[in-house]
A and B are shown apart, each in its own frame.
Chain A
């Protein structure tokens, strides 16, 4: 490239009378611009360094506040600091805005003056004698053709590079990778509390019926659990998930279903600092009573502190958030449910008058609240289920006094039935076209889940006032219902009309809910003894299997296996 020779400084021409003025303007405007720029840079530096420190301090205070929510002094300190930060930002922003205008004006002045100065120094060109341009014109044209041809090659190369870049094939991959598991996938696994639909019914029939924890017979593996919890295992493919917590830590565990090896541990929330007071819960409930939930891609866990976290199958934390410490008399215990990409949280607390209870749907991918609906109930310990009723999904929840169904798409209430009271712990089930709910120690109610609004007067198919459980949830094979009280009374009712067919005193205590596998009923006692009975209109015990360790959680069933959480260990039973 050549410089324009008509811009070379003059030597014999008189200087333009305004030249000196233009140069002086250049110097003044240039110096002014440099000063403004320096001030703006300093402002920018202070904003990004000094204010960042204050923001960090604010974040630390906020973190402390999470463990001391009632510390008014801390709240006041945070507010003051937050106000200071905002005031500083506003000042700096204002400074930056005004400075930008000043800088623009001074740069424009500088440019105009520079151009004027350059124009005043300009002299006329002095073209030299030129040889014949023919060859040069041919050469220029040739080079231009080659340059365009080179451009063509480069564009072609870039196009080919882009054309063969790997891309997602939606037509092939769309079916292979869905956002949420299919019904078939769900039924093959045990994704949530009491398995698919929260029914406590296994899709497999090849489940072992004989083992002994003391001798190791039938025990495939046994792995120590790092932290305690009363939640049940969930199983997806070759992964077993469970959670554990103590007053200071909350963790999710992933075990290899084949070997029992602990694959990863995911921490949910920051550990409670030593100076902070942990929340109080009943020992029987603990800090990790709710069962985790998985969609086969991620696993999500909630704890008594209201902290909820999600991890992918490799143990990477996807998201974490706090729903606020629940005001729960015995400690929060409702397990999570899953519907497509939604994690459903039944967040019942305090009393109905307090208006704190709600059902929340969180996005499994981001943890964001997709919808939440207030509930006119007090605290409960029951877990929600998602039932496919007449080809439409409904979220069924139990609380005092309402059984309420919600539309999972938007959280809108579909229907409600007033039939419960007291501390509701048993979860509902859906069997034979009826929703079955239990009012602790008082009655079993069957509801026809059709209609809209308050359907109390029309929807109750039947109600049986009898000895019913206060903690364990019912189970049904579609014809019979089994109810197991905590002190070991097992009752069998007919699903169609609620008639009690038989009852049997098992003389053991039970906290785990009963399960049905094929034509067998599995009942796990607190002492770790599994009662295996024949499903039928008459009581028939098939066998009892000892685990040798206390058990409070309901078992999970996989293909040919049972996973049992005992107080200290996770067991896998199989052949």
Chain B
């Protein structure tokens, strides 16, 4: 049977699933006065803390199992099984929340706003994968993250992304991380949660725009391995850097590399690096000059980025509801907007002077301006360092999994003849 048929059908079914998810609707309340009195709204009791601690315990266990499967057992099948479990538990059962990716924002807000206390479980969700990454590499991405899992499962016909494109697209994740920190720190928005592309699938319900975004990413995931993880995930950016420092790392071969090249195309995420060729003297001189130029360029990029980031304050501030409200009220007052919104009506009902609202909005803009300097500077720094990184001479003698990019999925293991030998020996020993 033609594989294209599978893919086409799979894509159609995924889209169908998203349509079904969007079909959930809400009832308007009855308009008749039937004598029935609507009960007073009550605040439901929060879910028991125990569930959250169970989640944290499951996360800890899953990370431990993942580390074992990736580094010790080296079994793709077992990692796949863990991926399915994580998708079912953290995704469909726990509805994709709490997740370490979104927890970045809680942690950032708790740092910038002393009145905001980050819940212990959220802190655990944020820290545990980081700690495990420091020791074992990206074992969280390997089989614990539900967002990675759902993309991994629909990967049917992987095509490799050229290295140049991969490097350029990766910038998006840094911008996303910077933006998420900026908006969380200023109390504007939790954009990672707001634009979580897969949570609508986990909950079988959600905003149509997000469903379209999620469907598009899943559609891309059929051909491009984990596009969200590689090009967008803000938590992945942190994990990339920590993974470079990890005590233990994923290796393609359990022994010495024999340069058989069987593994070179096995990674759907483009994380396998081939041995590097030697540089000629001419290349070395040119490379040195380029590196010097980029080193000089780095502070310029940081400053220019900071300046541009600060100048975007009027737009970035719109992520804050108070600024949106102030702009809406302003436009309504100026007769440039028709009707009112729920928010503007509620504001007007308070009788609060608009001048106060405008002053608050101006204050938030000022905060975004200051934050914009840091955000833009960060983006400039990332781009500068990436350019430097691409100009530095690397020395590699074997085929290796890139420490930063490797998602520890274990696909490459079975392509290594040494791994097969190891497994054979293990079986003999058993």
Instruction: List chain A positions with a Cβ less than 8 A from chain B.
Output: 1-7, 23, 26-27, 30, 33-34, 36-37, 40-41, 43-44, 47, 62, 78-79, 82, 86, 89, 93, 96-97, 99-101, 103-104, 106-108, 110-112, 114-115, 117-118, 124-125, 127, 130, 132-134, 137-138, 140-141, 143-152, 155-156, 159-160, 162-165, 167-168, 170-171, 173-175, 177-179, 297, 312-314, 316, 318-319, 340-341, 363, 365-366, 368, 370, 409
Contact = CB atoms under 8 A, between A and B. Distances in A.
Interface string B71-106: 000000000000000000000000000000000000
A69 to B, nearest CB: 12
Given A86-B27, A148-B386, A140 B339 contact: no
A138 B286 CA distance: 12
Contact of B387 (A103, A108, A110, A145): A145
**A-B complex: 9 closest residue pairs judged by Cβ atoms:** A163-B311, A134-B277, A167-B314, A37-B16, A143-B164, A147-B168, A366-B340, A159-B308, A170-B358
B6 A117 contact: yes
B274 A159 contact: no
Given A40-B19, A89-B27, A174-B358, A155 B175 contact: yes
Given A106-B13, A107-B14, A148-B168, A26 B1 contact: yes
B329 A118 contact: no
A171 B308 CA distance: 22
Interface stretch (B49-57, B139-147, B150-158): B150-158
Contact of B158 (A4, A160, A167, A173): A4
B156 A159 contact: no
Contacts of B376: 159
B12 interface: yes
B256 interface: no
Interface stretch (B130-138, B190-198, B242-250, B349-357): B349-357
Interface string B146-175: 000000011011111111111110010001
Contact of B9 (A30, A96, A318): A30
A137 to B, nearest CB: 6
16 contacts: A1-B160, A37-B20, A40-B19, A93-B25, A107-B10, A108-B153, A124-B262, A137-B277, A140-B164, A148-B383, A152-B383, A163-B308, A167-B314, A170-B326, A177-B334, A314-B335
Interface of B: 1, 3, 6, 9-10, 12-14, 16-17, 19-21, 23-25, 27, 30-32, 153-154, 156-168, 171, 175, 204, 260-262, 264-266, 268, 274, 276-278, 283, 301, 304-305, 308-309, 311-312, 314-316, 326-327, 329-335, 338-340, 344-345, 348-349, 351, 354-355, 358-359, 361-362, 376, 379, 383, 386-387, 390-391, 415
A103 B14 CA distance: 9
A3 B159 contact: yes
B344 A152 contact: no
A557 B355 CA distance: 31
Contacts of A107: 10, 13-14, 16-17
Nearest to A32: B13
Given A146-B164, A151-B168, 20 more contacts: A4-B266, A6-B265, A6-B266, A34-B13, A37-B13, A43-B23, A44-B19, A96-B20, A107-B10, A107-B17, A110-B10, A115-B156, A118-B3, A125-B264, A132-B277, A148-B383, A152-B301, A316-B338, A319-B339, A363-B348
A494 to B, nearest CB: 38
B274 A133 contact: yes
A177 B327 CA distance: 12
B13 A103 contact: yes
A44 B164 contact: no
A2 B333 contact: no
Contacts of A179: 329, 332-333, 348, 354
Contacts of B158: 4, 7
A96 B351 contact: no
